[in-house]
Structure 1
Amino acid sequence: MTIVLALAASVTWGASDFIAGILSGRLPARTVVICSQAVALVAISGVVLVVGLPLPPGPWWLWGAVGGVAEGAGLLALYSGLARGRMGIVTPIAGLGVLVPVVVGLVRGDPVTVLLGAGILLAIVGGVLASGPEVEGGGEGGDATSILYAVLAALGLGTAMACVDLGSRVSGLHTLWAMRVASVGVFLLLALVLTTRWRIPRGLAPGLVVVGIADLSATALFSMATTRGHLSIAGVLASLYPVTTILLAWLLLRERLRPVQVVGVAAALAGIALIAS
């Protein structure tokens, strides 16, 4: 069940990123993030009011707050890095954030066999290659600051995944709620500083709702995956969302897959097969 839930989270995150990428061509990226996160906060708050009261005891609020701030900082760093450097350099580095939940899971005692270790390694490498790394060398790859932003994005997003696991051991629902409260708070402060444009064309509003609900659903699926199995496995499989994004771009936008991306997809699938075995 852990594998199914984690892969479902990966597909949902990938679809969310695909739609968000299209919307970001019409709106500032930070507007897409703030509005979609706000939609998710409204949705999860409604669920908490219906089935999540009274609030349970425990440190779920702490892990949720840390995870929400880490996620907000990670997304900010990712978009800042993409603004300064090339996607083929920034995105694969940011994707290595999967190492954070893997390390946390292994330190906590997740068992690893040779077959499972090989599957995890293949899946991580496949996810990075599917992101389209620029391995040819040469050209303008962006300055050192863009690489620093990518590293910070990896740490932020990876830390958020680990916090989801830790908080979900007390209450997954309330951890998700605390994360959205914290992330929306961070992004609203960012919006005030950057004077974010709030005029949203009516035709784009449904897309923002879909992105927000999809991101929330993916996080919920990941939360359930970590409570039913090992964090190291769930983290690796859920982090394969770039595979979904690039496949949707190939199917719907007719974007050409680079050879390194085809290799990455194949490696990711092989890794999933080894983990499942």
Structure 2
Amino acid sequence: MSTLALGLFAALCWAFHDICVRFLSQTVPISACIFTVLATGLLFHTGLMTVTGQFAPIAADALWFALTAGVFFVIATYGLYYAFQRGPVRLVAPIIAAYPVLSVGWAMVRGTPISAFQWIAVICIVAGVATVAALSDDNGENSPAKGPTIVFALGSAIGFAGTFALGQHAAELSHEMPSTLVTRVMAVGLVIVIGLTLRQTFWPGTRALPWLIAMGTADGVALLCVLSAGALPDPQYAAVTASMFGLLTILLAWLLLKERMTLPQWTGCTVAFCGVGYLAL
């Protein structure tokens, strides 16, 4: 399978996950959704490592980066679920998927030169997201106030940027799969602590359970697709294609949830995701 095909399949898996979040979060406690999905992802990752025999000791310096990535992953997950619960998808998805902007900013702080085309891509993302946000209330829908929704989405974007930056650094210092396992264990542990502290439920109900297990599996498969591309020519194209998951989520919301989209909103989304795609190169 080509790197582009792997990236596209990963994007479809993540789009499926996000559209299910939008649907299930309306009736199922978010704490139960998050716990079930993350626990399923952890079991999938552990099973994959068992089958492939990729268990290996993790270096001490990489351990701290992997653990901190788990903290950021929890921030990203809670922000994503609460943002999609409030909706609409056309507002939330471009903001969360714009996390490469933060990655570019972090690279600039570390002294990495930023090209003119990268700055243009950043401007396109900001302009596209701003267009969608400005027009998000023009359809007469009964969505909650968009201010808190934007805050949750921004928190999720920051969480994903931190997760990937710290997780990649841990993988550079040690082995990729064991580092990711530590990150997932840390994330599940934090969710359990938060749930017990706030006396939240972990049981989503029998009707939602199969969907949540499918979501956790889809997340694990998507990550596997991106990682598997590393052994193929031009693996960066898998990451580029996978970063389009937000646009696919908006398309699914339009098709399945009947969220209305105007031409300016489609234009804003397209401009934003073109910028995301370029930064992912």
TM-score bucket of the superposed structures, by smaller chain:
0.7 to 0.9
Native 8 Å contact 2:100 2:161 kept in 1: yes
How much has 1:208 moved relative to structure 2? Answer: 0.8
Helix, strand or coil for the counterpart of 2:175? helix
> Partners of 1:34 and 1:134 in 2: how far apart?
33
Matched, 1:134 2:134: yes
> Partners of 1:38 and 1:76 in 2: how far apart?
15
- Paired AA for residue 22 in structure 1: F
How much has 1:157 moved relative to structure 2? Answer: 2.1
Partner residue, 1:244: 248
- Paired AA for residue 31 in structure 2: R
Q: Which residue, 41, 54, 57 being the options, matches 2:56?
A: 54
Partner residue, 1:264: 268
How much has 1:187 moved relative to structure 2? Answer: 0.7
- Paired AA for residue 48 in structure 2: V
> Partners of 1:269 and 1:54 in 2: how far apart?
37
Distance 1:245 1:149, change over 3 A: closer
Distance 1:270 1:200, change over 3 A: closer
> Partners of 2:274 and 2:94 in 1: how far apart?
19
Distance 1:210 1:100, change over 3 A: same
Report the more deviating stretch, 162-171 or 98-107.
98-107
Partner residue, 1:155: 158
> Partners of 2:21 and 2:113 in 1: how far apart?
36
Partner residue, 2:220: 216
Native 8 Å contact 2:14 2:245 kept in 1: yes
Deviations 1:15-45 (A, max 9, x none): 2111222222231122111101001111112
Partner residue, 1:29: 30
Native 8 Å contact 1:28 1:197 kept in 2: yes
Partner residue, 2:66: 64
> Partners of 1:143 and 1:3 in 2: how far apart?
34
Distance 1:218 1:105, change over 3 A: farther
Partner residue, 2:169: 166
- Paired AA for residue 74 in structure 2: G
Native 8 Å contact 1:2 1:234 kept in 2: yes
Native 8 Å contact 1:124 1:236 kept in 2: no
> Partners of 1:276 and 1:40 in 2: how far apart?
24
> Partners of 1:22 and 1:136 in 2: how far apart?
19
Matched, 1:180 2:181: no
> Partners of 1:20 and 1:144 in 2: how far apart?
20
Deviations 1:140-188 (A, max 9, x none): 9749766655543332222112123223333221122112101101111
Partner residue, 2:101: 99
Distance 1:60 1:211, change over 3 A: farther
Native 8 Å contact 1:16 1:211 kept in 2: yes
- Any unmatched runs of 5+ in structure 1? none
Distance 1:137 1:21, change over 3 A: closer
> Partners of 2:238 and 2:260 in 1: how far apart?
30
Distance 1:129 1:30, change over 3 A: farther
Deviations 1:212-269 (A, max 9, x none): 01122333444566898799x9877644322111111222333322334311343256
After TM superposition, the score normalised by the length of structure 1 is: 0.75
- Any unmatched runs of 5+ in structure 2? none
Partner residue, 1:74: 76
Helix, strand or coil for the counterpart of 1:202? coil
Native 8 Å contact 2:89 2:249 kept in 1: no
Percentage of identical aligned residues: 25
For the aligned residue pairs, the C-alpha RMSD in angstroms reads: 4.2
Report the more deviating stretch, 205-214 or 222-231.
222-231
Distance 1:68 1:4, change over 3 A: farther
